[in-house]
Amino acid sequence: MKSLKDLFEHQLKDLYSAESQLLNALPNVLEKVSDDQLKESISSHKTETQTHKERIKEICDELGVTASGEECKAMKGLIEETEHFLKEDAESDVRDAGIIANCQRIEHYEISGYGTAVKYAKQLGHKDVAKKLQQTLDEEYKADEKLDQLAENRINQEAKA
C-alpha cells in the first residue's frame, strides 16, 4: 500500500469480507435466541447486512475495485468468539444477554470500520461513496441502539433474576 487510495480500497475489501462472514454466521445465532424481540432484531439486521454487502459491492464496482479477495480476520475472530459462547451451557435469558453482548462487539467493529471508510472517501473526494458509506454507518448505529435498548430495558434484568 502506497497511498490513502490503496488503504481505502483495502478497507472496502475488509468490510465486504466482514459483511459476508456475518451473513453466514447470523443463522447460527438466530437458532440460539429465545427472546422474540431479540430474534426479530437480529433477523432484521441480517436483511440489512445483505444490503450492506450489496452496497459495498456497488461502491467497489463504481471505483473499479474487486470487492472479494480479503479475509477480515477481526470479524472471523468475533464470530469464533460468538460461536464459542453459543456452545456454553446457559439459561436462555443469560444466553440472550450474552448474544447481545457478542452482537454489540460486532456492531462496534463495523461502526469503527465504516466510520474510517467514510473519512477516507471524503478525503479522496468520493462524495457519493461517502454518502453511501455514511448510510450504512447510520444503520449500524441504529442496530447497536436497538440491542442496547433490548438489553437495558428487559433482557439483562431477566438474566439477572
pLDDT at 18: 98
Asked if 29 and 82 count as a contact pair (C-beta separation under 8 A), the reply is yes
Instruction: Delineate the domains of the chain, giving CATH numbers in brackets.
Output: 4-160 (1.20.1260.10)
Collapsed DSSP state (helix, strand, coil) of residue 91: coil
**Alpha carbon distance 99, 118 (integer Å):** 28
Q: Summarize pLDDT for 33-47 with one digit per residue, the tens.
A: 999 999 999 999 999
Count other Cβ atoms within 10 Å, centred on residue 23. Answer: 15
> pTM for this structure?
0.94
Q: Is 161's pLDDT higher than 90?
A: no
pLDDT at 70 over 90: no
Strand, coil or helix: what is 124? Answer: coil
Q: What is the reported pLDDT for 69?
A: 84
Residue 110 vs residues 44, 93, 103, 154: alpha-carbon distances, Å: 16, 26, 11, 25
Burial environment of residue 118 by CB neighbours within 10 A (0 to 12, 13 to 18, 19 or more):
buried
Structure confidence by residue, pLDDT tens digits, 104-147: 999 999 999 999 999 999 999 999 999 999 999 999 999 999 99
The pLDDT-based confidence of 27 (bands split at 50, 70, 90) is: very high
Contact in structure between 93 and 155 (CB atoms under 8 Å): yes
